[in-house]
């Protein structure tokens, strides 16, 4: 089955006491175009292997844990508001989940509606909503749960998130109370132990550094393993005796975990404490894995009504478009350049700034046809572009926020148009930028600039406080409000349509009174870049060459 061992300890000749599956951050139910391809049908095949294969007969039944983010963003969720993921999560045999930030993208009411249809509990111990009562978690989620394995062993689970989790959600109730993850664990885990939990697992939705802090700040033995989400990569470490694991993303990876009981000497004459040896297997979901028929049938049912429209060719690209998270969240990308240029040209702004978390494709789109599906998959968010008038100081603060968490794979990392900047990641956060130019001139802190960005950022989300609009209590003046803005996915569709129409104009100079002297082109004359100090410029060699699906021979010049 193509397994790879991530970590191994203990005597593997002894049958495991417990068996777990872990996955996190799943969005696209269809397989992608690059390996590992993922997709729910092949993912289910792997799950069923660990659940049903003869190799595991006589061993404890699997306990499946999910670390959040399923209901958004995806192509399907833009239509279903996340409802299509409920049967998927249930069919995968999920036993418990942590609430992810994107699970609340359609509001708390919709999350409650979806979670009530799930066959497992959702946990969130350290974000409280006073409107629901004293010490009640947001969305009436549970704080902890005890699961009983098929052999009778009790497993305590607690759900925890980071403070930054709150900043990434579009709409939340007022007056929420955030409690430290480590303090919450210290408060609640002893009760799990008192109820008979022999092992305690934290399912979390926070960046890896915050999972590491959780392990560092809790006593050895309080939490046995942290199963994290929010990051979209695979990672494992052991900190202060606690395992910290995240299991990839998007149905492309999962972790199979065997836990074997190990008796530890009693500390200071106290009773013996149970410690655990973990054998952790990473599984990549590749195209070599056959699709599970039942899950493929569910996949087809969920997507059939959309498929014919979504498979329609929209345009094509000559250059590969790199939308991988490991690209767009760490460096300049050609797809980021392309989209930011379109945003700026559409509104005739001075510059454009887009958080890289906007780009959700997490793959390289190869040269060839671009379908409607590709565009909506890559840009599924429903908040439109906005145009703001901001000071140079506010723009600098926004750019500082964009690079403040580098090299973490944060969605706030910038993609820009008509902006050049240099930053030094060795400097303290919010003091990293060495210089900035807009339209080739040094940034003037006192000048007012016309900035094209996303409504999400205009609401001050993800640390973009300096872009908060006046209607929300900020200082940015709204020139184009969200109500009148255009979705990025629609902007791209209009771009390809316009090229197709222009390409049908066969006689450019037949009507000099109504046509420009020179053949128009959609190619920007200035090309932005961002780079880090003492590192080569991460700028692609050229902008993507993107054209409409049906290309006449008299097509205008490429982008």
Torsion 543-546-551-554 (CA) sign: negative
Residues 526 and 53: their CA atoms lie apart, in Å, by 59
Is the pLDDT confidence value at 337 over 90?
A: yes
DSSP letter assigned to residue 227:
E
Is residue 128 domain-resident? yes
Residue 383 pLDDT class (50, 70, 90 cuts) = confident
Mean pLDDT across the stretch 421-447? 97
Is residue 559 domain-resident? no
Statement to judge: residues 115 and 191 lie in one domain: yes
Residues 283 and 42: their CA atoms lie apart, in Å, by 11
CATH number where 111 lies: 3.60.21.10
Is residue 321 domain-resident? yes
Statement to judge: residues 435 and 470 lie in one domain: yes
What is the percent of the chain with per-residue pLDDT over 70, rounded to a whole number?
A: 87
Statement to judge: residues 155 and 186 lie in one domain: yes
Statement to judge: residues 363 and 280 lie in one domain: no
Is residue 462 domain-resident? yes
Per-residue pLDDT reduced to its tens digit, 132-150: 999 999 999 999 999 999 9
Q: What was the pLDDT predicted at 376?
A: 86
Statement to judge: residues 246 and 369 lie in one domain: no
CATH number where 357 lies: 3.90.780.10
Residues 324 and 233: their CA atoms lie apart, in Å, by 11
Statement to judge: residues 286 and 405 lie in one domain: no
Is residue 374 domain-resident? yes
End residue of a domain, out of 299, 325, 345: 299
Residue 80 sits in which domain range? 3-299
The number of folded domains in the chain is 2
Statement to judge: residues 284 and 331 lie in one domain: no
Q: Where are the alpha helices (DSSP H) in 218-322?
A: 293-310
Q: What was the pLDDT predicted at 269?
A: 54
Is the pLDDT confidence value at 511 over 50?
A: no
Average pLDDT score over the chain: 88
Statement to judge: residues 485 and 454 lie in one domain: yes
Is residue 558 domain-resident? no
Q: How far is CA 322 from CA 313, 527, 529, in A?
A: 19, 17, 16
Statement to judge: residues 316 and 242 lie in one domain: no
End residue of a domain, out of 275, 299, 323: 299
Mean pLDDT across the stretch 328-348? 96
Mean pLDDT across the stretch 434-447? 97
| Residue-level length of the chain | 559
Statement to judge: residues 155 and 36 lie in one domain: yes
pTM of the model: 0.72
Is residue 556 domain-resident? no
Statement to judge: residues 367 and 286 lie in one domain: no
What is the percent of the chain with per-residue pLDDT over 90, rounded to a whole number?
A: 74
Q: Which of 123-137, 271-285, 428-442 has the lowest mean pLDDT?
A: 271-285
Q: What was the pLDDT predicted at 441?
A: 97
């Amino acid at each position: 089955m193509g397994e790879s061992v991530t970590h191994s300890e203990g005597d593997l000749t002894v049958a495991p006491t417990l068996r777990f599956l872990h996955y996190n951050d799943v969005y696209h139910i269809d397989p992608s175009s690059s390996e590992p391809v993922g997709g729910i049908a092949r993912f289910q095949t792997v799950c069923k292997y660990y659940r049903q294969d003869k190799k595991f007969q006589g061993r404890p039944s699997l306990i499946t844990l999910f670390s959040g983010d399923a209901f958004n963003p995806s192509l399907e969720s833009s239509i279903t508001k996340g409802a299509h993921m409920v049967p998927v999560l249930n069919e995968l045999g999920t036993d418990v989940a942590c609430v992810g930030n994107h699970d609340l993208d359609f509001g708390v009411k919709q999350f409650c509606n979806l979670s009530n249809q799930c066959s497992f509990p959702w946990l969130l111990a350290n974000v409280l909503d006073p409107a629901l009562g004293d010490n009640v978690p947001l969305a009436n989620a549970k704080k902890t749960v005890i699961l009983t394995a098929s052999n009778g062993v009790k497993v305590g689970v607690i759900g925890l998130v980071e403070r930054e989790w709150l900043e990434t959600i579009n709409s939340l109730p007022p007056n929420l109370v955030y409690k430290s993850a480590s303090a919450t664990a210290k408060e609640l885990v002893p009760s799990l132990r008192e109820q008979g939990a022999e092992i305690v697992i934290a399912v979390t939705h926070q960046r890896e550094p915050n999972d590491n802090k959780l392990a560092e700040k809790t006593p050895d033995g309080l939490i046995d393993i942290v199963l994290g989400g929010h990051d979209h990569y695979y990672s494992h470490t052991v900190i202060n005796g606690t395992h910290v694991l995240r299991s990839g993303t998007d149905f492309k990876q999962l972790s199979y975990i065997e836990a074997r009981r190990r008796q530890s000497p009693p500390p200071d004459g106290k009773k013996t404490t149970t410690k655990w040896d973990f054998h952790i297997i990473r599984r990549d979901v590749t195209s070599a894995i056959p699709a599970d028929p039942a899950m493929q049938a569910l996949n087809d049912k969920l997507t059939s009504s959309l498929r014919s429209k979504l498979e329609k060719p929209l345009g094509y690209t000559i250059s590969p478009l790199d939308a991988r998270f490991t690209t767009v969240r760490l460096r300049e990308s050609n797809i980021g350049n392309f989209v930011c240029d379109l945003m700026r040209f559409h509104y005739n702004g001075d510059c454009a700034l887009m958080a890289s978390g906007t780009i959700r494709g997490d793959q390289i789109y190869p040269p060839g046809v671009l379908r409607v599906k590709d565009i909506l998959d890559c840009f599924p968010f429903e908040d439109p572009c906005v145009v703001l008038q901001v000071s140079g100081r506010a723009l600098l603060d926004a750019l500082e926020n964009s690079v403040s968490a580098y090299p973490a794979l944060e969605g706030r990392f910038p993609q820009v148009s008509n902006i050049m900047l240099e930053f030094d990641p060795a400097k303290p956060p919010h003091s990293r930028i060495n210089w900035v130019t807009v339209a080739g001139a040094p940034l003037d802190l006192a000048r007012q600039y016309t900035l094209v960005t996303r409504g999400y950022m205009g609401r001050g989300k993800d640390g973009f406080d300096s872009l908060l609009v006046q209607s929300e209590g900020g200082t940015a003046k709204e020139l184009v409000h969200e109500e009148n803005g255009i979705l990025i996915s629609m902007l791209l569709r209009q771009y390809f349509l316009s090229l197709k129409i222009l390409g049908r104009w066969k006689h450019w100079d037949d009507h000099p009174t109504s046509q420009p002297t020179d053949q128009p082109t959609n190619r920007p004359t200035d090309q932005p870049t961002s780079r880090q100090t003492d590192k080569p410029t991460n700028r692609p060699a050229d902008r993507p060459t993107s054209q409409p699906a049906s290309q006449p021979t008299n097509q205008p010049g490429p982008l």
